[in-house]
Structure 1
């Protein structure tokens, strides 16, 4: 049994909202972000409205918005969440410090 904190759709919705908020914080219009990133205005509008976007376009937007490095941790085995109850229990039994001698 896998343990997930959110569904893919929830993550997609969260990303579209965060990217829009970041664009607004940076005081960029949709046209400005599209031009700076090389992503078509239509693709950017569709992403902000529906969450649908290609991976390449998402990464281009992330570069301009200053969050591209966050994607390098995706699927990093050291930062991975437990996928099962057994993995979660095994992780909690792992010693946190070396033994004292």
Structure 2
């Protein structure tokens, strides 16, 4: 058991996110260059992210928006009481 218990390390989550973005990009038939142009994120940043998992939050959000996944970030890091209200009201 590592520093983070049974959970993935931050680096493992970064790599997982980058792999998911690659899969979504390919699913939508975008090349890295096309994703760069559509998202406004530098081509070099996309290449680096897909290879290493390293990217700024702003760039990740721009890419997510281009891939129609930005809404998924809205439920991240919600306080517990907000998550409960969201489920209750189907928000």
- Provide TM-score, normalisation by structure 2: 0.79
Please list every run of 5 or more consecutive structure 1 residues that lacks an aligned counterpart in the other structure: 80-101
Structure 1 stretches of at least 4 aligned residues deviating more than 6 Å after TM superposition:
none
Instruction: Pick one of 32, 43, 51 that aligns with 2:34.
Output: 32
Residue matched to 1:46: 48
Instruction: Pick one of 8, 11, 18 that aligns with 2:10.
Output: 8
Larger Rg: 1
Please list every run of 5 or more consecutive structure 2 residues that lacks an aligned counterpart in the other structure: 84-91
- Structure 1: distance between partners of 2:57 and 2:73: 11
Superposed CA RMSD: 1.5
- Structure 1: distance between partners of 2:12 and 2:77: 18
Residue matched to 1:21: 23
Q: Which has the higher contact order (CA 8 A, sep 6+)?
A: 1
